[in-house]
Amino acid sequence: MLFSIPESGWWLIAAAATLVFMVGMRALSSGMKLPDDLRDTMKQQGKGGRWAFYLLTPAFAGAVLATSLLRPEPASPILFLYSVAFASIPAACLPVRGRMLKTYIVQQRNPGTKVKPDRLAMAWIGGSLSVVCLAAVLALTTTGHGPPG
């Protein structure tokens, strides 16, 4: 059932997952309240970074797909894993974006001190991405498109 989608459909899904990733990563910072001094700094830094993000992300994603698809196996499982990975990263970060922002503000305000990362945010992101990874592997192995052997 999972791989009854034709390969051209998986290419469209992979492109949509890249778009979801890019929009989701930009949406993580929208609506967040920053102190005025940091907001001005981020606006100045963000102009070049924004265009680099929108140009380099698809180029990097295309390079990853191109090298992965050189293998003789069918492309559908690779495109499935790619889509799951790209769509799950913003979804994992969204619930803890406020905590990550607080850590960022502390880091920017105290540049000389070592700032500890938020353990709850790290546990949430790591745990949710692990669950997604496990679900993707189970989906591949139960449909017969796992690694040969």
Domain ranges of the chain: 2-142
pLDDT tens digit sequence for 68-107: 778 887 788 888 988 999 999 999 999 998 888 888 777 7
The answer to whether 50 and 115 are in contact (CB under 8 A) is: no
Crossing angle between the packed helical segments 36-68 and 76-93, to the nearest 10 degrees = 170
**H or E element that contains 44:** helix 36-68
Q: What pLDDT does residue 45 have?
A: 61
The answer to whether 32 and 99 are in contact (CB under 8 A) is: no
**H or E element that contains 108:** helix 97-109
Mean pLDDT value of segment 141-146? 72
Mean pLDDT of the residues in the chain: 82
Mean pLDDT value of segment 34-49? 66
Please state the pTM of the whole predicted model. 0.77
Instruction: Give the three-state DSSP class for 74.
Output: coil
Mean pLDDT value of segment 2-26? 87
